[in-house]
Structure 1
Amino acid sequence: MYAWIWRRLPGAWHTRLAIVAAVALVLGLVLWTVVFPWVEPKVQFDHGVVTGTPSPSSSSSSEPGIP
């Protein structure tokens, strides 16, 4: 698949590389600014990090009664 895309890009190898880098940069920016903020409220994290309170399983000791 990647070879097929690479063969269809115009220009020499350095032009193709610049096109691929630009497309990757634009795709990353779109993901970071549009997709990830839209998905964030829909993803549920239950690790105690989102609410700021530690979860019961995040204690530093595995034995009960030891601080």
Structure 2
Amino acid sequence: MYGWIWRHLPGNTWVRAFCSLVLVLAVVFLLFQYVFPWAEPLLPFNDVTVDGGGS
């Protein structure tokens, strides 16, 4: 998959590296802005139960 993306980016190695960095930053931005807020209520991270039984 990464090879396919690399071959389809325009320019020489430096331009391709810059374009791939921009693509990675765009994906991270989309994940934090849209995907993670949408999925957060579906995840069980806030369902914390503390057992009251001690010694």
Query: TM-score normalized by structure 1?
Result: 0.65
Give structure 1 stretches of 5+ with no counterpart: 49-54, 57-63
Distance 1:43 1:17 in 2: 35
Kindly tell me the number of residue pairs found equivalent between the two proteins.
Answer: 53
- Write out aligned runs for 1:2-41 (5 A): 2-41=2-41
Identical amino acids, percent of aligned pairs: 38
Distance 1:37 1:18 in 2: 28
Distance 1:23 1:14 in 2: 14
Give structure 2 stretches of 5+ with no counterpart: none
Return the offset for 1:23: 0.6
Query: TM-score normalized by structure 2?
Result: 0.77
Q: Which runs of 4+ in 1 moved over 4 A?
A: none
Helix, strand or coil at the partner of 1:11: coil
RMSD between aligned alpha carbons? Answer: 1.9
User: 2:39 aligned with 1:43, yes or no?
Assistant: no
